[in-house]
C-alpha cells in the first residue's frame, strides 16, 4: 500500500488514455456542434455572479485534460504540471497556459495559483493535496480521496487545520441521472428508499497494469473496493445516509496476473452489501474482470417510486411509480405499478452558458468544474467536500478487509459532515 509510483511513469497507460481522450473530445465537439441554439436560448444564464477569476494550477496531464477550467467565465488556468513533455504540451494547448512545471512542489509555490487540481495516480492524491492545502491553496482532487484510512484522516485534519477548501471530483454525483435522482429524493417522490445498489464494471484494465518496459504501474492489482466512489457517490447523495456496516465477498484469487501486486490483493472483483445509517440496505459491486459492457449505474427502490439508471445494451433510464387501484395478474391481485422510460434532462440550467455542452462521465465534468469554481468564489463548502469524500471512500477499506477475511461483518466509522 505504501509503494507510490512516480507521476508520469505509466507510459503504456498514457498511450491508451490519450487515444481514448482524443476520441472522446472529438465526440463531445461533434455533439456540441449539433446542440440546439433554441435549447440554449431557453435557459437563463445564472452566472457569472462575479467578475473575479480563480487562478487554478493543474497537476496531471492525463485525466487532468478532461475539464473545462478554460471555458468557465470565472476561472483561468495559470500553471500546469507533469513529468512528461507530451503531457505538459497537451495541458498547455488545452488550457491556453504557458507556465509549465515538472515538479508539483514548484507549482504550489506560484502566487498566481489560488487553487490546485490534483489529477494524478491514486497513491499520490493525498500527498499532493496535503502539500497544496498547507501552501494555502484550495484543492480539487480526482478519486479516490486516498488509498488508506490513515491517509484520509490526514487529509481531513489538514483541511480543518488550514481552513482551505477541498473537493473530490466524484463524477457520479453530477451524472445527469444522479442529479435527477437527488432532486426526486429531495421532493420525497420515492417515499422511503429502503434499497439502493450501484455497479462499476470496468473489464480490461489489465492493459493498464504494465508500462512499455514491463514494469508495473500503480494499477497493478489495485483492489476494487479501494475504488468504490463511483458507486458510493451515487448511493450516499441520493439517500442522504451514511454506510455504517459491511460484509463483502471477493473473487479472482487463482489468477496469476494478480500475484506480486503491491497491495497484496487477490481479487479482480468485489461485491459488498452495506447497512446504512438509516437501517436500509445497499449493494456495491466493483468488478475489474467481467463479461459486461462498461457500466456505471445505480438504482433506488422506494415505497412510492423507484428509479433505474440505464443498463448496458442501450436500455434507457426508467422509473416505476405507484398508481391508485389494483390489477389482476395470473389470478392474483397486484398493486398498480406503472413503469416508463425516464427522459433524463441535461441540467444545463445549472451551468454558465459556455459550459452547456456534453462532457465526460455522463456530463459530469462541466458540473464539477462549475461547482468547484463557485465554491471558491462564494467561500463555501463544495458539494463533495472532504467529509463527503471520506463517506464515499472509507467504506471501501472496510469492505476490502471484510473480503480478505471471507466476508466478516465490519462496522464503518462516520467522519461527520461539513
Convert the pLDDT of each residue in 195-211 to its tens digit.
Answer: 999 999 999 888 899 99
Q: Which residue has the higher pLDDT, 315 or 58?
A: 58
The verdict on 402 and 254 lying in the same domain is yes
Closest among 412, 393, 349, 377 to 142, alpha carbons compared: 393
- 105 located within any domain: yes
Handedness of CA 255, 9, 147, 416 (dihedral sign): negative
Does the pLDDT of residue 28 top 60, yes or no? Answer: no
The verdict on 138 and 181 lying in the same domain is no
The verdict on 229 and 375 lying in the same domain is no
- 117 located within any domain: yes
The b/e string for 267-285 (b: 16+ C-beta within 10 A; e otherwise) is bbbbbbbbbbbeebebbbb
The verdict on 163 and 267 lying in the same domain is no
Which CATH number covers residue 254?
3.30.360.10
Its domain, for residue 253, covers: 175-344+390-411
- 92 located within any domain: yes
Does the pLDDT of residue 10 top 70, yes or no? Answer: no
The verdict on 337 and 308 lying in the same domain is yes
- 218 with 4: CB under 8 angstroms? yes
How many domains are there within the chain?
Answer: 2
What per-residue confidence (pLDDT) applies to 263?
97
What is the spatial distance between Cα 296 and Cα 144, in angstroms, rounded to a whole number? 16
What per-residue confidence (pLDDT) applies to 208?
92
What per-residue confidence (pLDDT) applies to 50?
80
- 385 with 404: CB under 8 angstroms? no
Handedness of CA 71, 77, 80, 85 (dihedral sign): positive
Q: What Cα–Cα distance (Å) separates residue 9 from each residue in 204, 218, 365, 385?
A: 20, 9, 25, 30
Does the pLDDT of residue 36 top 50, yes or no? Answer: no
The verdict on 168 and 195 lying in the same domain is no
Beta bridge partners of 301: 195, 306
Which CATH number covers residue 115?
3.40.50.720
- 221 located within any domain: yes
The verdict on 258 and 191 lying in the same domain is yes
Q: Which helix (H) or strand (E) holds 58?
A: strand 54-59
Region 113-134: mean pLDDT is 99
What is the spatial distance between Cα 49 and Cα 33, in angstroms, rounded to a whole number? 27
Within 277-374, strands assigned E span 281-287, 295-302, 305-308, 318-329, 332-341
Convert the pLDDT of each residue in 253-297 to its tens digit.
Answer: 788 899 999 999 999 999 999 999 999 999 999 999 999 888 999
- 373 located within any domain: yes
pTM: 0.87
- 239 located within any domain: yes
Does the pLDDT of residue 8 top 80, yes or no? Answer: no
Handedness of CA 105, 111, 115, 117 (dihedral sign): negative
The verdict on 263 and 404 lying in the same domain is yes
Convert the pLDDT of each residue in 406-418 to its tens digit.
Answer: 999 999 999 999 9
Confidence of residue 314 (pLDDT cuts 50, 70, 90): confident
**Residue 4, number of CB atoms within 10 A of its CB:** 17
The verdict on 285 and 192 lying in the same domain is yes
Confidence of residue 313 (pLDDT cuts 50, 70, 90): confident
- 3 located within any domain: no
What per-residue confidence (pLDDT) applies to 255?
85
- 167 located within any domain: yes
The verdict on 147 and 286 lying in the same domain is no
The verdict on 36 and 105 lying in the same domain is yes
Convert the pLDDT of each residue in 154-171 to its tens digit.
Answer: 999 999 999 999 999 999
Angle between helices 176-186 and 229-239 (to 10 degrees): 20
What per-residue confidence (pLDDT) applies to 47?
61
The verdict on 339 and 356 lying in the same domain is no
- The C-alpha cell at 18 is 490519450
Amino acid at each position: 500500500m505504501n509503494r507510490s509510483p512516480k507521476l508520469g511513469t505509466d507510459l503504456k497507460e498514457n498511450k491508451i488514455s490519450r487515444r481514448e481522450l482524443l476520441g472522446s473530445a472529438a465526440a463531445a465537439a461533434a455533439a456540441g456542434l449539433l446542440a440546439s441554439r433554441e435549447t440554449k436560448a431557453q435557459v437563463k444564464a445564472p452566472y457569472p455572479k462575479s467578475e473575479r477569476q480563480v487562478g487554478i494550477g493543474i497537476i496531471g496531464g492525463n485525466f487532468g485534460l478532461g475539464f473545462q477550467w478554460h471555458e468557465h467565465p470565472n476561472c483561468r488556468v495559470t500553471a500546469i504540471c507533469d513529468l512528461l513533455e507530451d503531457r505538459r504540451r497537451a495541458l498547455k494547448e488545452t488550457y491556453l497556459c504557458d507556465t509549465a512545471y515538472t515538479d508539483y512542489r514548484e507549482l504550489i509555490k506560484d502566487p498566481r495559483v489560488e487553487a490546485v487540481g490534483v489529477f494524478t495516480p491514486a497513491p499520490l492524491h493525498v500527498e499532493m493535496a496535503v502539500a497544496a492545502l498547507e501552501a494555502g491553496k484550495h484543492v480539487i482532487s480526482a478519486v479516490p480521496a486516498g488509498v488508506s484510512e490513515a491517509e484520509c484522516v490526514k487529509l481531513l485534519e489538514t483541511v480543518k487545520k488550514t481552513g482551505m477548501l477541498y473537493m473530490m471530483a466524484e463524477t457520479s454525483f453530477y451524472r445527469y441521472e444522479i442529479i435527477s435522482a437527488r432532486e426526486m429524493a429531495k421532493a420525497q417522490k420515492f417515499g422511503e428508499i429502503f434499497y439502493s445498489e450501484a455497479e462499476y464494471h470496468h473489464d480490461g484494465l489489465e492493459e493498464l497494469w504494465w508500462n512499455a518496459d514491463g514494469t508495473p504501474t500503480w494499477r497493478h492489482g489495485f483492489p476494487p473496493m479501494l475504488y468504490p466512489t463511483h458507486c458510493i457517490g451515487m448511493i450516499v447523495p441520493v439517500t442522504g445516509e451514511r454506510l455504517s456496516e459491511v460484509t463483502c465477498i471477493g473473487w479472482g484469487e487463482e489468477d496469476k496476473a494478480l500475484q506480486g501486486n503491491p497491495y497484496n490483493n487477490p481479487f479482480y472483483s468485489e461485491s459488498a452489501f452495506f447497512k446504512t445509517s438509516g437501517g436500509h440496505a445497499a449493494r456495491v459491486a466493483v468488478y475489474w474482470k467481467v463479461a459486461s459492457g462498461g457500466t456505471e449505474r445505480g438504482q433506488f427502490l422506494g415505497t412510492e417510486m423507484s428509479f433505474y439508471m440505464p443498463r448496458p445494451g442501450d436500455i434507457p433510464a426508467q422509473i416505476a411509480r405507484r398508481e391508485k387501484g389494483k390489477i389482476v395478474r395470473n389470478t392474483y391481485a397486484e398493486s398498480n405499478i406503472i413503469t416508463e422510460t425516464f427522459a433524463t434532462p441535461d441540467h444545463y440550467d445549472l451551468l454558465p452558458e459556455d459550459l452547456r455542452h456534453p462532457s465526460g462521465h455522463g456530463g459530469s465534468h462541466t458540473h464539477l468544474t462549475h461547482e468547484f469554481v463557485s465554491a471558491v468564489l462564494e467561500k463555501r463548502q463544495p458539494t463533495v467536500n472532504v467529509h463527503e469524500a471520506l463517506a464515499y471512500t472509507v467504506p471501501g477499506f472496510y469492505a476490502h478487509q471484510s473480503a480478505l477475511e471471507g466476508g466478516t461483518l465490519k462496522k464503518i466509522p462516520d467522519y461527520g459532515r461539513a
